[in-house]
Amino acid sequence: MDLTLPRRVTPELLDGLPADDPRAKRSREDLRRIHRAMATLSIANRALDRGTVGFVPRTLLELGAGDGTLMLRLAQRRKRYWPDVRVTLLDRLPLVAPRTLEGLTQVGWAPRVVAMDVFDWLASPDATRWDVIFANLFLHHFSDAALQSLLREIAARSCVFLCCEPRRAVLALAGSHLIGLLGAGPVTRQDAVSSVHAGFLGRELSDLWPDRQDWDLTEQAAGLFSHCFLALRKGR
Protein backbone atom coordinates (compact mmCIF):
# COMPACT_ATOMS: atom_id res chain seq x y z
CA MET A 1 0.00 0.00 0.00
CA ASP A 2 1.39 3.40 -1.02
CA LEU A 3 1.21 6.53 1.06
CA THR A 4 -1.20 9.14 -0.27
CA LEU A 5 0.78 11.98 1.29
CA PRO A 6 2.71 14.30 -1.03
CA ARG A 7 6.46 14.25 -1.07
CA ARG A 8 8.05 16.05 1.85
CA VAL A 9 11.69 16.98 1.35
CA THR A 10 13.51 18.08 4.49
CA PRO A 11 17.26 18.48 5.16
CA GLU A 12 18.87 15.29 6.43
CA LEU A 13 21.19 15.37 9.43
CA LEU A 14 24.11 13.69 7.68
CA ASP A 15 24.24 16.40 5.03
CA GLY A 16 24.89 19.04 7.68
CA LEU A 17 27.73 17.23 9.46
CA PRO A 18 31.46 17.68 8.72
CA ALA A 19 33.01 14.65 7.03
CA ASP A 20 35.18 13.88 10.05
CA ASP A 21 32.39 14.17 12.63
CA PRO A 22 32.09 10.81 14.47
CA ARG A 23 28.32 10.86 13.89
CA ALA A 24 28.89 11.23 10.16
CA LYS A 25 31.40 8.39 10.10
CA ARG A 26 28.98 6.13 11.93
CA SER A 27 26.15 7.08 9.59
CA ARG A 28 28.24 6.17 6.53
CA GLU A 29 28.94 2.80 8.13
CA ASP A 30 25.20 2.44 8.73
CA LEU A 31 24.52 3.16 5.06
CA ARG A 32 26.78 0.32 3.99
CA ARG A 33 24.73 -2.08 6.12
CA ILE A 34 21.49 -0.59 4.82
CA HIS A 35 22.60 -1.12 1.21
CA ARG A 36 23.08 -4.80 1.98
CA ALA A 37 19.75 -5.07 3.80
CA MET A 38 17.96 -3.38 0.88
CA ALA A 39 19.80 -5.58 -1.66
CA THR A 40 20.79 -2.40 -3.50
CA LEU A 41 23.60 -4.05 -5.42
CA SER A 42 21.38 -6.84 -6.77
CA ILE A 43 18.66 -4.36 -7.73
CA ALA A 44 21.13 -2.11 -9.55
CA ASN A 45 22.75 -5.06 -11.32
CA ARG A 46 19.45 -6.35 -12.66
CA ALA A 47 18.52 -2.90 -13.93
CA LEU A 48 21.92 -2.42 -15.57
CA ASP A 49 21.60 -5.81 -17.24
CA ARG A 50 18.37 -4.56 -18.84
CA GLY A 51 19.82 -1.18 -19.69
CA THR A 52 22.99 -2.36 -21.40
CA VAL A 53 21.87 -5.27 -23.56
CA GLY A 54 24.24 -5.34 -26.55
CA PHE A 55 26.09 -2.33 -25.18
CA VAL A 56 29.34 -2.33 -23.18
CA PRO A 57 29.79 0.96 -21.29
CA ARG A 58 33.23 2.54 -21.20
CA THR A 59 32.40 5.63 -19.11
CA LEU A 60 30.37 5.71 -15.91
CA LEU A 61 29.51 8.54 -13.55
CA GLU A 62 28.06 8.11 -10.07
CA LEU A 63 26.29 11.13 -8.59
CA GLY A 64 26.36 11.40 -4.81
CA ALA A 65 28.92 8.62 -4.67
CA GLY A 66 29.70 9.00 -0.96
CA ASP A 67 32.60 6.79 0.07
CA GLY A 68 32.55 4.86 -3.22
CA THR A 69 32.14 1.44 -1.62
CA LEU A 70 28.90 0.64 -3.42
CA MET A 71 30.56 1.41 -6.75
CA LEU A 72 33.47 -0.83 -5.82
CA ARG A 73 31.09 -3.72 -5.14
CA LEU A 74 29.34 -3.00 -8.44
CA ALA A 75 32.67 -3.01 -10.28
CA GLN A 76 33.67 -6.32 -8.69
CA ARG A 77 30.38 -7.83 -9.82
CA ARG A 78 30.52 -6.48 -13.38
CA LYS A 79 34.24 -6.57 -14.23
CA ARG A 80 33.86 -9.66 -16.39
CA TYR A 81 31.28 -7.96 -18.62
CA TRP A 82 32.49 -4.37 -18.37
CA PRO A 83 36.29 -4.22 -18.72
CA ASP A 84 38.29 -1.01 -18.79
CA VAL A 85 35.60 1.35 -17.49
CA ARG A 86 36.52 4.93 -16.66
CA VAL A 87 34.45 5.70 -13.57
CA THR A 88 33.99 9.13 -12.00
CA LEU A 89 32.78 9.38 -8.41
CA LEU A 90 31.15 12.75 -7.79
CA ASP A 91 30.21 13.96 -4.33
CA ARG A 92 30.33 17.32 -2.61
CA LEU A 93 32.81 15.88 -0.09
CA PRO A 94 35.99 13.88 -0.88
CA LEU A 95 35.06 10.73 1.03
CA VAL A 96 36.58 7.97 -1.13
CA ALA A 97 39.39 6.17 0.71
CA PRO A 98 42.63 5.21 -1.11
CA ARG A 99 41.87 1.51 -0.57
CA THR A 100 38.56 1.94 -2.43
CA LEU A 101 40.33 3.57 -5.36
CA GLU A 102 42.91 0.78 -5.29
CA GLY A 103 40.13 -1.79 -5.35
CA LEU A 104 38.62 -0.17 -8.45
CA THR A 105 42.00 -0.16 -10.12
CA GLN A 106 42.52 -3.83 -9.30
CA VAL A 107 39.36 -4.81 -11.19
CA GLY A 108 40.64 -2.96 -14.25
CA TRP A 109 38.64 0.24 -13.88
CA ALA A 110 40.13 3.73 -13.94
CA PRO A 111 38.64 5.78 -11.08
CA ARG A 112 38.51 9.54 -10.66
CA VAL A 113 37.08 11.46 -7.71
CA VAL A 114 35.39 14.85 -8.18
CA ALA A 115 34.52 16.78 -5.01
CA MET A 116 31.89 19.24 -6.16
CA ASP A 117 28.26 20.13 -5.62
CA VAL A 118 26.21 18.45 -8.32
CA PHE A 119 24.68 21.72 -9.54
CA ASP A 120 28.11 23.37 -9.75
CA TRP A 121 29.23 20.40 -11.82
CA LEU A 122 26.19 20.70 -14.08
CA ALA A 123 26.89 24.39 -14.56
CA SER A 124 30.44 23.67 -15.74
CA PRO A 125 31.13 23.72 -19.50
CA ASP A 126 31.58 19.95 -19.77
CA ALA A 127 30.31 18.44 -23.01
CA THR A 128 31.11 14.86 -21.98
CA ARG A 129 28.37 12.33 -22.68
CA TRP A 130 28.55 9.43 -20.26
CA ASP A 131 27.59 5.92 -21.28
CA VAL A 132 25.97 5.40 -17.87
CA ILE A 133 25.07 7.82 -15.07
CA PHE A 134 24.08 6.17 -11.81
CA ALA A 135 22.68 7.58 -8.58
CA ASN A 136 21.69 5.78 -5.40
CA LEU A 137 19.70 7.34 -2.55
CA PHE A 138 20.47 10.75 -4.06
CA LEU A 139 17.56 12.22 -6.02
CA HIS A 140 15.19 12.19 -3.06
CA HIS A 141 17.20 15.03 -1.49
CA PHE A 142 15.82 17.49 -4.07
CA SER A 143 12.52 19.27 -4.63
CA ASP A 144 10.62 18.64 -7.85
CA ALA A 145 11.82 21.97 -9.26
CA ALA A 146 15.46 21.11 -8.56
CA LEU A 147 14.93 17.60 -9.93
CA GLN A 148 13.64 18.98 -13.22
CA SER A 149 16.88 20.92 -13.67
CA LEU A 150 18.99 17.95 -12.59
CA LEU A 151 17.24 15.44 -14.83
CA ARG A 152 17.40 17.78 -17.81
CA GLU A 153 21.19 17.94 -17.51
CA ILE A 154 21.48 14.19 -16.90
CA ALA A 155 19.47 13.51 -20.05
CA ALA A 156 21.76 15.80 -22.05
CA ARG A 157 24.89 14.02 -20.79
CA SER A 158 24.03 10.32 -20.71
CA CYS A 159 22.99 7.32 -22.77
CA VAL A 160 21.70 5.34 -19.78
CA PHE A 161 20.55 6.73 -16.45
CA LEU A 162 19.68 4.58 -13.45
CA CYS A 163 18.70 5.64 -9.96
CA CYS A 164 17.57 3.68 -6.92
CA GLU A 165 15.64 5.70 -4.35
CA PRO A 166 13.45 5.15 -1.27
CA ARG A 167 9.89 4.08 -1.98
CA ARG A 168 7.28 6.32 -0.37
CA ALA A 169 5.11 3.51 0.95
CA VAL A 170 3.74 2.22 4.25
CA LEU A 171 6.06 -0.80 4.36
CA ALA A 172 9.13 1.31 3.69
CA LEU A 173 8.08 3.83 6.33
CA ALA A 174 7.61 1.04 8.87
CA GLY A 175 11.03 -0.32 7.96
CA SER A 176 12.63 3.10 8.40
CA HIS A 177 11.34 3.26 11.97
CA LEU A 178 12.96 -0.13 12.65
CA ILE A 179 16.35 0.70 11.18
CA GLY A 180 17.84 0.68 14.66
CA LEU A 181 17.57 -3.11 14.60
CA LEU A 182 20.46 -3.05 12.12
CA GLY A 183 22.53 -1.17 14.66
CA ALA A 184 21.98 2.23 13.05
CA GLY A 185 22.85 5.31 15.07
CA PRO A 186 20.57 8.27 15.83
CA VAL A 187 21.53 10.25 12.71
CA THR A 188 20.67 7.37 10.42
CA ARG A 189 17.48 6.56 12.29
CA GLN A 190 16.15 10.08 11.77
CA ASP A 191 17.41 10.39 8.21
CA ALA A 192 15.86 7.06 7.20
CA VAL A 193 12.38 8.31 8.07
CA SER A 194 12.99 11.61 6.27
CA SER A 195 14.22 9.70 3.21
CA VAL A 196 11.02 7.69 2.90
CA HIS A 197 8.87 10.82 3.13
CA ALA A 198 10.99 12.33 0.32
CA GLY A 199 10.91 9.15 -1.78
CA PHE A 200 9.01 8.35 -4.95
CA LEU A 201 5.97 6.49 -6.21
CA GLY A 202 4.43 5.47 -9.50
CA ARG A 203 5.84 7.47 -12.41
CA GLU A 204 6.85 10.59 -10.54
CA LEU A 205 10.39 10.63 -11.95
CA SER A 206 9.19 9.74 -15.44
CA ASP A 207 6.86 12.74 -15.31
CA LEU A 208 9.85 14.98 -14.51
CA TRP A 209 12.06 13.55 -17.27
CA PRO A 210 12.54 16.22 -19.96
CA ASP A 211 12.30 14.08 -23.11
CA ARG A 212 9.96 11.11 -23.31
CA GLN A 213 10.03 10.84 -27.09
CA ASP A 214 13.69 9.89 -27.48
CA TRP A 215 14.00 7.78 -24.34
CA ASP A 216 12.55 4.51 -23.07
CA LEU A 217 11.57 4.99 -19.43
CA THR A 218 10.96 2.29 -16.83
CA GLU A 219 9.95 3.14 -13.29
CA GLN A 220 8.90 0.61 -10.69
CA ALA A 221 9.09 -0.66 -7.13
CA ALA A 222 12.12 -2.85 -6.45
CA GLY A 223 12.55 -5.15 -3.50
CA LEU A 224 10.73 -4.27 -0.30
CA PHE A 225 11.79 -0.66 0.10
CA SER A 226 13.26 0.71 -3.13
CA HIS A 227 11.98 2.60 -6.14
CA CYS A 228 14.00 2.46 -9.37
CA PHE A 229 14.01 4.60 -12.48
CA LEU A 230 15.80 3.53 -15.68
CA ALA A 231 16.09 5.79 -18.72
CA LEU A 232 17.54 4.44 -22.00
CA ARG A 233 18.33 6.74 -24.92
CA LYS A 234 16.78 5.31 -28.10
CA GLY A 235 19.29 4.39 -30.79
CA ARG A 236 22.19 4.88 -28.42
Q: Which domains does the chain have, with CATH numbers?
A: 13-233 (3.40.50.150)
Order across the sheet with 158-166: list the strands.
110-115, 86-91, 59-63, 130-136, 158-166, 226-233, 215-222
- CA-to-CA dists, residue 103 to 107, 160, 225, angstroms: 7, 24, 29
Per-residue pLDDT in tens (0 to 9) along the chain, 236 residues: 454 678 999 999 999 999 999 999 999 999 999 888 889 999 999 999 999 998 899 999 999 999 999 999 999 999 999 999 999 999 999 999 999 999 999 999 999 999 999 999 888 877 788 999 999 999 999 999 999 999 999 999 999 999 999 999 998 999 999 999 889 999 999 999 999 999 999 999 999 999 889 999 999 999 889 999 999 999 77
